[in-house]
Structure 1
Amino acid sequence: MAEGNIQNIVTYEPADAIFVAVRNKIYMLNSNLVILSTVVTGPWGSDQCKICAKCQMKGPMNFEDTDNKVLVMDPFEHWLYSCGTSQHGICFLHEIEIQSNIAVIKETTCLYSAQFNKPYECPDCIASALGTRTVVVDKSASYFYVASTVNRSIAETYSPKSVSIRRLKSTRDGFDHSFHHLTVLPEYQDTYPINYVYSFNDQHFVYFLTVQRENLSFKSYHTRIVRLSIEDNDLQKYRELNLDCRFEYKRRRRRGLAVNPRDVAFNVLQAAHATKPGSKLAQEISARETDLVLFGVFAESHVDSMMPQKNSAVCAFPLSMINQAIDNGMNKCCSSNVHDKMLRGLMFYQHTEYCPHNGDKTGMHCETMIHLVSKQFISKLGIQ
């Protein structure tokens, strides 16, 4: 039994090992759920945290609990990354070795360089106390695609950015100090929270699933998917798309009485997983068995809140259809044949801008980041 709430889980398939993170500890278990070893990640400044001493921090090591917000495997090397809330969200690299078919942590390295980190800019500050999702991609080096929930107090001190792409240095003492990022504008950081629920990558893209307010003016919440290009290290091809999961009852009369149950929009995502569908489901959703499908558990929220009510539903979104909807939206934004006034959106990241065909005077290229609304792209589940 874990000593506290489980914060993260990741598997290491070469040795059938499972890593489970709780506050101040990471357990390594075998396939029978027997604990093989324990890595103590906090409290920071305590004698129990041996790996804390590997970080050459400036100033005293103040006593601080570590919530392990990031736990992810490297896609190429036998490395486990953990990033906690202590010391402004720094990370560790745990090198794994297999001995007699059992995984052991051979060495742990602190991914931090004191000389490159300042309160106003900290490339080695990854994890946010409010939540962080990370995807690691191998591109001759390990690139971290990071999405963090921030508020003003977090953003003003050693800020983990809202969305960033960071390259792990070959010296393994932190991340390159030059990196691309987006952060919610200061005036909205306390009033426009973005909750990151799930992350994954497929082929040329990295995806994040979010729950956030519909816009800066509305109090109601909905779900979006964010897409970043793996082929580019900047964020010019940042895209957002609304995801809509709803039940629509098929009306019919029973025993002479009209039956009209309420249609329900399940607006806030609770959990998600991307995998390939079975043959029957693939046929029902017009997908192939080889296609990746995003499955999401959605709930209907309380009014003007992201807090879920008791009812929930599962909706399936073929990833090919998501990408097609994004491409269609981009074509509409960039086409000279479209005359409807169209905003790029994302006013919490950037000032009001219109698509190029609307006479955008900023000189920004059509590939610049955009939020897309596709009213046709919804996953419906009908009940008789």
Structure 2
Amino acid sequence: MFILRRTKMRIQYSEDISILIILQTLWWGLNSQCEEPIESSKLDLSVTYDLPHFVSDTPIQKLLEFNGTVYVGAVDKLYALSKDLKKIHEYNTGPVHEGQDCSAPDPCSGCKNKPLNMNNTNMALLVETFYDLELFSCGSVGNGVCRRYLLEDGPLDAEITCMYSKKNKDSSHGCPDCLAGPSGTQILNVMSSGVVRFFVANSEPLDSTVPRLHHTISVRKMRETQDGFEFFSEQSYMDLAPGLRGNYPLRYVYSFQSGPYVYFLTVQREGGSLNAFHTRIIRMCSSDPEILRYVEMPFECIYSERRRKKRSVQVVFNVLQAAHVAKVGYDFQQEMGLKEGEDVLFAAFARSKPDSPEPTASSAVCLISITDINNFFRDFMQKGYTRKLSHFPGSEEKNFNQTTHSTNRTPTSPAFMWKHRASDTVLQF
């Protein structure tokens, strides 16, 4: 019927011809047999594919590609692989001499009187190129102190520096050299104004007995001697409120830089007396040596299912599982009306079990441009839809009297945050 209608609209006298063709086709179909499928169309399930692969001796935690080399951080191992995943070099990072009654003078030396009984899990892996071409590997041993590998000198073990300075031993800011926490760490290194800033976020477990050696979120720089780290000031870090430690799980899932900002994505409780979990996106200025312009906002992936003669049903995917930022491709650029080269966040979400961060089998992948995220932050701060942070102490009230700007999307449910203030609107996409 659709073909007949289109033909009649274009050529008025073609209706009889169109009907004749259709009737003749039907007649041929009644008097002929369907052809037998040819043998070559059968799917050959016996075909095997020899894909490039690498098998680690121990579980892999981190993966990083730089200048055609793939660096793999695994338990007690650090590998350098070629593009086709052939092993170039292997370096042992554990087991180490460590224990609860260890009295080593610094985390680098370990306890020589202890057996090799502590595995070293790779918690962070990053490359820095401003000072030198160097790789940082931060493990679970030695209070999360990192080791620095100079990549210009050949193998990974050509020159290694343990990033611990004895000058920091009595620091009033805790342990500046202790980057990687035992419950998971996201580290982002950004060069700004001639200084490399290391933004570090450590997950908070449901365990009040864990020693507090690591700040929850911080920014620090490398010492000029390149043997450790230091904070810019006491405003360069924030910690979870003392009353929440041990009963407020906070997991940092992903971090990235886009434009003048650095971002962290977390899964945590909705706050207050609520036990439900959700995802939040955090934004800070990459040029700040202190945590002054900190803002966070709840972040959800929404799927709308339309049903006949019924209202659409919205499914909320609340807990982030993984994410990745990339430049927008041509298809998404056209579909979303974005500029060429814009950053887009791809985020894999799941629906969690009731009052738990544990995911169910129901999941979805959503994407949103970083421009849209920044528009949400800008609009709600300028409109004053903000409130103080509840889980980080020391936040301040501020008011904005700037001209407001509207976005193309209208948020529908409350919750948003900033270090000095926080609002009540969820970013949904």
Aligned to 2:280: 224
Aligned mate of 1:292, from 327, 333, 343: 343
Aligned mate of 1:26, from 78, 83, 88: 78
Query: Does the 8 Å CA contact 2:382/2:400 hold for their aligned counterparts?
Result: no
Say whether 1:82 aligns with 2:145.
no
Query: Does the 8 Å CA contact 1:54/1:110 hold for their aligned counterparts?
Result: no
- Code of the aligned partner of 1:109: T
Query: Does the 8 Å CA contact 2:63/2:125 hold for their aligned counterparts?
Result: yes
> 114-123 vs 233-242, which deviates more?
114-123
Q: Residues 44, 142 of structure 1: CA spacing in aligned structure 2 closer, same or farther, 3 A cutoff?
A: farther
Quote the Cα distance in structure 1 between the aligned partners of 2:129 and 2:188: 9
Q: CA deviation at 1:61?
A: 6.9
Q: Given the two structures, how large is their TM-score scaled by the length of structure 1? A: 0.82
Query: Does the 8 Å CA contact 2:58/2:76 hold for their aligned counterparts?
Result: no
Unaligned runs of 5+ in 2: 1-54, 99-103, 402-417
Query: Does the 8 Å CA contact 1:150/1:160 hold for their aligned counterparts?
Result: no
Say whether 1:91 aligns with 2:146.
yes
Quote the Cα distance in structure 2 between the aligned partners of 1:194 and 1:283: 37
Aligned mate of 1:345, from 388, 391, 404: 388
SS of structure 2 residue aligned to 1:153: coil
Quote the Cα distance in structure 2 between the aligned partners of 1:177 and 1:310: 42
Quote the Cα distance in structure 1 between the aligned partners of 2:113 and 2:254: 33
Quote the Cα distance in structure 2 between the aligned partners of 1:230 and 1:305: 32
Which deviations, in whole Å up to 9, do the C-alpha atoms of 1:144-186 show, x marking residues without a partner? 1000013443353xx1111000101121110125541011012
Say whether 1:268 aligns with 2:322.
no
Query: Does the 8 Å CA contact 2:267/2:277 hold for their aligned counterparts?
Result: yes
Aligned mate of 2:227, from 163, 166, 173: 173
SS of structure 1 residue aligned to 2:393: coil
Q: Residues 26, 59 of structure 1: CA spacing in aligned structure 2 closer, same or farther, 3 A cutoff?
A: closer
Quote the Cα distance in structure 2 between the aligned partners of 1:268 and 1:162: 20
Aligned mate of 1:42, from 81, 90, 94: 94
Q: CA deviation at 1:118?
A: 4.9
Query: Does the 8 Å CA contact 1:141/1:170 hold for their aligned counterparts?
Result: no
Aligned to 1:201: 257
Q: CA deviation at 1:244?
A: 1.5
Query: Does the 8 Å CA contact 2:319/2:351 hold for their aligned counterparts?
Result: yes
Aligned mate of 1:110, from 162, 171, 175: 162
Q: Given the two structures, how large is their TM-score scaled by the length of structure 2? A: 0.74
Say whether 1:126 aligns with 2:173.
no
SS of structure 2 residue aligned to 1:220: strand
Say whether 1:310 aligns with 2:361.
yes
Q: Residues 229, 75 of structure 1: CA spacing in aligned structure 2 closer, same or farther, 3 A cutoff?
A: farther
Quote the Cα distance in structure 1 between the aligned partners of 2:229 and 2:223: 5
More strand by share: 1
Quote the Cα distance in structure 2 between the aligned partners of 1:324 and 1:72: 30
- Code of the aligned partner of 1:6: I
- Code of the aligned partner of 2:179: I
Aligned mate of 2:195, from 132, 141, 144: 141
Q: CA deviation at 1:92?
A: 0.8
Pairing 1:312-331 to 2, within 5 Å after superposition: 312-331=363-382
Cα RMSD for the two superposed structures: 2.7
Quote the Cα distance in structure 1 between the aligned partners of 2:166 and 2:256: 31
- Code of the aligned partner of 1:349: F
Q: CA deviation at 1:43?
A: 1.6
Quote the Cα distance in structure 2 between the aligned partners of 1:230 and 1:133: 15
Query: Does the 8 Å CA contact 1:58/1:114 hold for their aligned counterparts?
Result: no
Unaligned runs of 5+ in 1: 47-51, 334-341, 359-366, 380-384
Q: Give the length in aligned residue pairs.
A: 345
- State the structure with more CA Rg: 2
Q: CA deviation at 1:280?
A: 2.3
Q: CA deviation at 1:370?
A: 3.3
Quote the Cα distance in structure 1 between the aligned partners of 2:149 and 2:422: 37
SS of structure 1 residue aligned to 2:94: coil
> 80-89 vs 177-186, which deviates more?
177-186
Which deviations, in whole Å up to 9, do the C-alpha atoms of 1:16-35 show, x marking residues without a partner? 11111111111111111111
Quote the Cα distance in structure 2 between the aligned partners of 1:177 and 1:353: 22
- Code of the aligned partner of 2:380: G
Quote the Cα distance in structure 2 between the aligned partners of 1:247 and 1:263: 6
Q: CA deviation at 1:12?
A: 1.6
- Code of the aligned partner of 1:122: C
Quote the Cα distance in structure 1 between the aligned partners of 2:105 and 2:83: 31
